Chains A and B, each alone.
Chain A
């Protein structure tokens, strides 16, 4: 992650050096007149190809709004959002699986909508489910699975879109700590093996430090970039390691300050 003023590191070709997601001075407001709410104000950030960026902030800081803009589900009021990727995949806090389809069906529908030919779908879905360790659960229905397993299916479905950029909106927010730790490990492994770009929204500071190459702290009301932390702790990381805890403490202090400032406004 780089702020616009930072220099761009050379990663060989011109295409690789160009940020895959570029948000330039974006403002987003909802409603008009006295009802007008400014969700994001003057947000600028670039995300490089293959980078894992965590967007961190208290509720109401416009994290999800920013993600929706990058996903193309919404348009900025002013400023520019450029995504140099064929597709973006999006995962929510809820798994949002289709209950009428089996686990495999949920992955296959994503493949189908992504234009994968019928003959390849079955084997591709099996591969993806193996990747998230659900190969034996292909014929189950979503309601038969635990919350963690459903999120795994949602991850397989997002991967099925073969998107270069994976957007994750608090995907593990509703899970218990143990399941979440395990999914952090799996996500990190998948990310390093597939080389995808990940933008991960969370309000959990340790989770952000555990996962991100960098953590973007967003301030609330209106949402704006308050600080950017590069995380240089070597991978694979543990959420309970002292390095993660130390950086998380620093970020938490700053987050408290931002929340406090938001309250006084």
Chain B
């Protein structure tokens, strides 16, 4: 049977694979410009406040003063960002391991689900700052404090993402897997985990947001054994009445949070949803 003459096969719904580089650039721009617009609106509002004279300029400096300071002396912020991201990254990796293992265990073992399923959600609602005193008691003012708080912040979201993903695997896929002979670990590996992946990535994305918040809470209060992170810079700037420094640190925190969310997790999320056919190809 010639494929071209087969009416059933000649379905035009099959999109040609896009030219990758150009498409990536266009997509990146499409994802970026609304964010740039939002930033412009924030800076505009801030500048209007400065012009209104509600707070003295040495208390709330103009956005351009702050950006200028960032531009001319980015070294401190960059090295602090590196310190923070290193610790945050380590904490997040550990959260993925712990959250992943707990998530799979809770989703697959009914007793565990009854026992700790709701505790995980409870942990998610716990403000991360509330963990910091305990972390300091346990780990003193070392990097362990930050890791502890980050893991407690991120792991529940990651675990919940996995549990949700596994719970919502379409039964017909499980049945198909069983018919094909996937049982036990094979079913987990070949059917359940891949089917749950889009929700798992959603959990990672949310976990990152929690991790980043927890990281800041921990850095504002704890220390990293002498190395300065952005949180410590922010705290230090406030203590030393360096108001420009406060704004600089806050802007950097916001930018990093947004960049990682959209570039790492947003990209991953879109790639997976496209692969799974969860995005209308014509609409993106």
Q: When A96-B173, A141-B275, A161-B180 are in contact, do A179 and B191 touch as well, CB less than 8 Å?
A: no
Complex Cα distance A109/B13, Å? 26
**Stretch of B2-10, B137-145, B222-230 that contacts chain A:** B2-10
CB distance from B277 to the nearest CB of A (A): 2
Enumerate chain A residues within 8 angstroms of B15, measured Cβ to Cβ.
Answer: 144
Interface membership of A149, Cβ < 8 A: yes
Enumerate chain B residues within 8 angstroms of A140, measured Cβ to Cβ.
Answer: 14
Question: Which A residues have a C-beta under 8 Å from some C-beta of B?
Answer: 71, 73, 89-90, 92, 94, 96-101, 109-110, 113-114, 133-134, 136-137, 140-146, 148-149, 157, 161, 178-179, 182
> Which range holds the interface residue count of chain B?
20 to 34
Enumerate chain B residues within 8 angstroms of A145, measured Cβ to Cβ.
Answer: 11, 14
Q: When A90-B179, A133-B3 are in contact, do A182 and B277 touch as well, CB less than 8 Å?
A: no
Complex Cα distance A182/B194, Å? 33
A73 lies within 8 A of B178 (CB): yes
CB distance from A145 to the nearest CB of B (A): 8
Instruction: Tell me the nearest residue of chain A to B190, going by C-beta.
Output: A109
- Pick the contact of A144: B7, B176, B277 (CB < 8 A): B277
B8 lies within 8 A of A98 (CB): no
Complex Cα distance A146/B15, Å? 12
Q: When A98-B173, A142-B277, A143-B277 are in contact, do A114 and B8 touch as well, CB less than 8 Å?
A: no
B194 lies within 8 A of A98 (CB): yes
CB distance from A233 to the nearest CB of B (A): 24
Interface membership of B186, Cβ < 8 A: yes
Q: When A113-B186, A140-B14, A182-B8 are in contact, do A100 and B176 touch as well, CB less than 8 Å?
A: no
B181 lies within 8 A of A113 (CB): yes
- Pick the contact of A161: B178, B181, B190, B195 (CB < 8 A): B181
Complex Cα distance A73/B175, Å? 9
B276 lies within 8 A of A143 (CB): yes
Complex Cα distance A145/B13, Å? 8
Enumerate chain A residues within 8 angstroms of B181, measured Cβ to Cβ.
Answer: 113-114, 161
Mask of B252-284 contacts with A, CB within 8 angstroms, 1/0: 000000000000000000000001110000000
A100 lies within 8 A of B172 (CB): no
Complex Cα distance A110/B178, Å? 11
- Pick the contact of A146: B11, B182, B186, B191 (CB < 8 A): B11
Interface membership of B23, Cβ < 8 A: no
Complex Cα distance A110/B277, Å? 21
A146 lies within 8 A of B195 (CB): no
- Pick the contact of B11: A94, A149, A157 (CB < 8 A): A149
CB distance from B12 to the nearest CB of A (A): 10
CB distance from A89 to the nearest CB of B (A): 7
Enumerate chain B residues within 8 angstroms of A157, measured Cβ to Cβ.
Answer: 180
Interface membership of B197, Cβ < 8 A: yes
B175 lies within 8 A of A113 (CB): no
- Residue from B8, B194, B275 with most neighbouring chain A CB atoms (10 Å): B8
B13 lies within 8 A of A146 (CB): yes
- Pick the contact of B197: A90, A100, A148, A182 (CB < 8 A): A100
CB distance from B197 to the nearest CB of A (A): 7
Q: When A92-B172, A98-B191 are in contact, do A179 and B8 touch as well, CB less than 8 Å?
A: yes
Interface membership of B115, Cβ < 8 A: no
Complex Cα distance A82/B173, Å? 26
Complex Cα distance A210/B7, Å? 22
Interface membership of B114, Cβ < 8 A: no
